[in-house]
Amino acid sequence: MSRSRTVSSTFRFQPRAIGLAVALCLGAGLAAGPASAQTAAATPAFDIPAGPLGAALDRFARVAGVNLAYDAKAVEGRGTRGLSGAHDVDTGLRILLEGTGLAAVRAPGGFALEAAPAPAPAGAPTLEPVRVRAAVETDPAIGPVKGYVARESSTATKTGTPLREIPQSISVIGRPEMEARGAANSGDPLLYTPGVLPVLYGADDRMNSGDSGVTSRGFDSAAGNYLDGLRQPKSSTSWSYPRTEVYGLERVEVLRGPASTAFGQGDVGGVISRVSKRPDASAPREVELQLGNFDRRQFAIDVGGAAGSDDAVQWRLVGVSLEHEPQVQYPNFRPESIERFYIAPSLAFRFDADTTLTLLGSGLRQSGPDVAWEYVNDNGQHSGVLIGEPGYAHYEARQWDAGYQFAHRFAPDWQVKQNLRTSSVSVPDMTLIDGGYGRADPVTRELARGASLLSESMRYTVVDTQLHGRVPTGPATHQLLFGLDWTRVDSDIQAASAGAPSLNIDNPVYGVGVSRPTIADRNTDASSSQRQLGLYAQDQVRFGPEWLLTVGGRQDWFEGEESDHLAGASVETRDHAFTGRVGLTWLHPSGLAPYVSWGQSFLPTPGRDAEGRPFEPTRGTQYELGVKYQPAGESVWLTAAVYDLTKRNVVTYDPVTFDARQVGEVRSRGIELEAKVSLARGLDLAAQYTLNDIENTADSNAALVGKRPTLIPKHLAAAWLDYTVQGGDLAGLGGGLGARYTGSRYGNAVNTVENPSVTMVDAAAHYTTGPWRLSLNAQNLFDRDNGVYGYGVYYQGLRRTVTATARYRF
């Protein structure tokens, strides 16, 4: 059996149009790039890390665009020291094979491997032996990120693909960057990411801003939440959704724009994919203690190891215990603490060189006071008066999940993978609601309130089976992917409401008794069921070392049922949709990669219109033109993208009859710039700018046409700079400083109320010595008011948050 690559063609296009686009988008990047524009295609740039020889040879052949034939058994158990920089094929193979006992020789159509010549005579210089252990391999597409700059991802294509080869905007936030900025909330990793607004509704004391209330390119991303390659669905009511513990993450990836071809149902904004920490014999073992304002106390542990002489069995355990007070507090009342407990065990097995199995699980419990909204005065300004009741509003979330990731290579160029996760989420919630539709009685100044009790549970199972293969055809090499995935989501909700004591907005008095509604007197008793089956195919076609065409298509079938048990009625929905994607990338040896792409999305819409017809899925289409710059061997990531995307079949409401009509359309156009660069040893920069011009282009309410959706800013910008002293008496001492700008946002659909723009500053100081790392992080250092008015209420913003962390590694 052999692996093969296609010999690069001698015919090359002259991409003048793309070169012009590159010059306009990233002229500075071109100027800073190495003067390798005249480098021949025969000297491609490589960035292959040390590791198993078979995987390294695969990557070498793909980048070089050559046929490389060898017996899979001959490389089993062998390792390589890696390869970095620009080399011709012969030199690159010689360096890659040093110390392996193998050598590459020219053969018809390419190269073949054979045993290396006998050792040199005694006294001649020799290479030190390379010791290879058959441990469970860490996939660079899902494993730890070294520094701020990642190089591969499996999110966009479900294959381990270099970032610059993905014909779509993508950002990767690794563990080092999260730790430098002191990420404590599930939305914190996204704060410096282009196109993303991670805190739509102000502060979230429950630390779930990254799980709900995130927008990408102006659209809600709740339908695009993924963990370890599998969807994390929300219930039909959106009350139940999986929560994320940021300490348990290895990396966070944001793929912007439609992604239904790979993932099925999802909104047009894109996908937020999180990757869990997983077994790794080289992973650091650590304990961490964190203290902060708002009486924050957190203890975390991350330990793991390996068993057996060859480390073929590996394990890891991540745990967090957290308690803190909410930022939004009632006057003269001791606040209820927010408590959070998380545990995530995992176990990995390498049965042989071709077969691995990783078991992943986690459990999370979180409880505390429910969100406290502010009453808004008649002039649209917030009053500081909280609508809720400190002795009543409470929530509790419990969830667990278990699953596996299986991979088996049954031929040198073919392997099968299967990922599965099943999970349960339950959310009992008690809160007080505004019963006065946002207005107090003008005479008595009393605001009517209602007591709400809700209990919802959700159970879901997701399984994704994939077949990966590589096939050469003449001058082209095809990286093929075929897949079948299935999702089942079941949820049950019971809710009750009753009257509650009113609140005088001029002289609010809290601590009054609130009668708890009983489920026996429930207003809602309903359940929902969703099923989705998707069949997809993808081909990454490489024409020599410089051109890459990515083509994909997918067919989905969706079934849903909404049942009202009190009314004895149910509504069924059956939909199907085909989505496609096409992208073309030019891979210049300098590291420059201009691209153009087109993609589609679809998202089922529950409910019926005024005539009783089931809603059709919303559909999205995007055109994107961009350029990426990532030279081999350098910690540099520069991107620029322009996009035009449209979402159709949006549900709108008649302003007179309030009938639901699926005639809406929203268009989003914009520019995104991102830079992640190691400017010098120990000096890292992360920066972004976003221009997002989004508007309603069709609506049953003519007054909303041309208006910007509520709470979506037009401009976002952020920059973070971190430095660590590398030598001398101050080695290990460092700090970081960042600023985040959010443009003005409208607080209502007709754009008559505007929230001002705001700039917040973040800062950090840290010191690493031996196994210890001490850090001090501050978000919103100057305590800027960043709350927003929207949908008739005021959402308080994130207050200044300061945390001190002590970490010990062993």
In sequence order, the β-bridge partners of residue 451 are 432, 498
How much is the pLDDT for 137? 57
How much is the pLDDT for 44? 72
How much is the pLDDT for 12? 33
* Rounded (10°) CA dihedral 438, 439, 444, 449: -20
CA–CA distance, 263 with 259 (Å, rounded to integer): 6
Identify the three-state secondary structure at position 335. Answer: coil
In sequence order, the β-bridge partners of residue 688 are 674, 718
How much is the pLDDT for 111? 81
pLDDT confidence bin for 49, thresholds 50/70/90: confident
| Residue 391, token pair as written in the block | 């002795």
pLDDT confidence bin for 437, thresholds 50/70/90: low
Residues 570, 560 contacting (CB under 8 angstroms)? no
Residues 208, 202 contacting (CB under 8 angstroms)? no
Q: What pLDDT, in 10s, does the model give residues 169-226? A: 999 999 999 999 999 989 999 999 999 999 888 776 666 666 777 999 999 988 889 9
| Residue 621, token pair as written in the block | 């289409």
Q: What pLDDT, in 10s, does the model give residues 417-426? A: 999 999 999 9
Distance of CA 251 to the CA centre of its chain: 8
Residues 220, 607 contacting (CB under 8 angstroms)? no
Amino acid at 34: P
Which residue segment(s) compose the domain that 90 sits in?
27-115
What is the DSSP track for 489-556? EEEEEEEEEEEEEEEESSS-------PPP-GGG-SEEEEEEEEEEEEEEEEEEEETTTEEEEEEEEEE
Average pLDDT over residues 738-767: 96
Q: Which of 7-21, 90-104, 516-530, 697-711 has the lowest mean pLDDT?
A: 7-21
- Best CA proximity match to 212, nearest among 464, 425, 463: 425
Q: What pLDDT, in 10s, does the model give residues 601-655? A: 999 988 888 888 888 999 999 999 999 999 988 999 999 999 999 999 999 998 8
* Rounded (10°) CA dihedral 521, 396, 278, 227: 50
Residues 758, 197 contacting (CB under 8 angstroms)? no
Instruction: Output phi, psi for 9, to 5 deg.
Output: -75, 150
DSSP-derived secondary structure letter, 180? H
- 165 contacts: CB under 8 Å, gap ≥ 6: 540, 548, 585, 587, 593
Residue 576 burial (CB count, 10 A): 12
Residues 387, 447 contacting (CB under 8 angstroms)? yes
CA–CA distance, 643 with 596 (Å, rounded to integer): 10
CA–CA distance, 270 with 771 (Å, rounded to integer): 39
CA–CA distance, 334 with 369 (Å, rounded to integer): 12
Tokens 């089942």: give the residue.
488
How much is the pLDDT for 207? 60
Looking at 91-131, which runs of residues are DSSP E strands?
102-107, 110-115
Q: What pLDDT, in 10s, does the model give residues 717-746? A: 999 999 999 999 999 999 999 999 999 999
CA–CA distance, 664 with 659 (Å, rounded to integer): 13
Indicate whether 202 belongs to any domain.
Answer: no
Residue 389 burial (CB count, 10 A): 25
pTM across the whole model: 0.84
- Best CA proximity match to 464, nearest among 235, 270, 259, 229: 229
CA–CA distance, 223 with 211 (Å, rounded to integer): 10
Higher pLDDT, 775 or 428: 775
CA 165, 169, 173 angle in degrees (round to 5)?
A: 95
- Best CA proximity match to 388, nearest among 399, 372, 412: 372
Indicate whether 517 belongs to any domain.
Answer: yes
Indicate whether 459 belongs to any domain.
Answer: yes
Average pLDDT over residues 243-259: 96
Type and span of the H or E element at 62: helix 53-64
Higher pLDDT, 429 or 696: 696
Q: What pLDDT, in 10s, does the model give residues 61-113? A: 777 777 787 777 777 778 887 887 777 787 888 888 888 888 888 765 578 88
- Best CA proximity match to 482, nearest among 550, 537, 407: 537
pLDDT confidence bin for 46, thresholds 50/70/90: confident
CA–CA distance, 405 with 227 (Å, rounded to integer): 12
CATH number, residue 457: 2.40.170.20
Last residue of a domain, one of 69, 97, 115: 115
**Please, what's the b/e burial string for 533-561 (b: 16 or more CB within 10 A of its CB; e: otherwise)?**
bbebebbbbbbbbbbbbbbbbbebebbbb
Higher pLDDT, 274 or 307: 274
| Residue 334, token pair as written in the block | 């001791």
- Best CA proximity match to 274, nearest among 314, 340, 214: 214
How much is the pLDDT for 132? 44
> Alpha carbon of 799 to those of 55, 197, 205, 610, 760: distances in Å?
48, 17, 10, 44, 10
- Best CA proximity match to 242, nearest among 195, 290, 276, 278: 276
> Alpha carbon of 639 to those of 22, 331, 594, 697, 717: distances in Å?
10, 48, 9, 29, 15
Indicate whether 681 belongs to any domain.
Answer: yes
How much is the pLDDT for 607? 81
Rg (CA), the chain: 28
CA–CA distance, 357 with 84 (Å, rounded to integer): 30
CATH number, residue 99: 3.55.50.30
Instruction: Output phi, psi for 703, to 5 deg.
Output: -70, -15
Q: What is the mean pLDDT of the chain?
A: 87
Amino acid at 229: G
Indicate whether 190 belongs to any domain.
Answer: no
Residues 66, 88 contacting (CB under 8 angstroms)? no
CA–CA distance, 594 with 615 (Å, rounded to integer): 39
Indicate whether 744 belongs to any domain.
Answer: yes
Q: What pLDDT, in 10s, does the model give residues 307-332? A: 877 789 999 999 999 999 998 889 88
| Residue 140, token pair as written in the block | 């660079």
How many domains, in total, are found in the chain? 2
Last residue of a domain, one of 96, 115, 134: 115
Indicate whether 168 belongs to any domain.
Answer: no
Last residue of a domain, one of 69, 92, 115: 115
Residues 252, 469 contacting (CB under 8 angstroms)? no
How much is the pLDDT for 23? 37
Type and span of the H or E element at 206: none
- Mapping DSSP onto H, E and C, the string for 260-298 reads HHHHCCCCCCEEEEEEECCCCCCCCCEEEEEEECCCEEE
- 435 contacts: CB under 8 Å, gap ≥ 6: 447, 448, 449, 450, 499, 500
Biggest CA pair distance of the chain: 104
How much is the pLDDT for 700? 93
Q: What pLDDT, in 10s, does the model give residues 472-482? A: 998 899 999 99
Q: What pLDDT, in 10s, does the model give residues 454-474? A: 889 999 999 999 999 999 998
How much is the pLDDT for 206? 66
Please give the share of the chain, as a percent, with pLDDT higher than 90.
Answer: 60
Identify the three-state secondary structure at position 29. Answer: helix
pLDDT confidence bin for 438, thresholds 50/70/90: low
How much is the pLDDT for 783? 96
Residues shown for the chain: 810
- 623 contacts: CB under 8 Å, gap ≥ 6: 597, 598, 643, 644, 645
Higher pLDDT, 128 or 738: 738
How much is the pLDDT for 223? 86
- 16 contacts: CB under 8 Å, gap ≥ 6: none
Indicate whether 258 belongs to any domain.
Answer: no
| Residue 270, token pair as written in the block | 């894109």
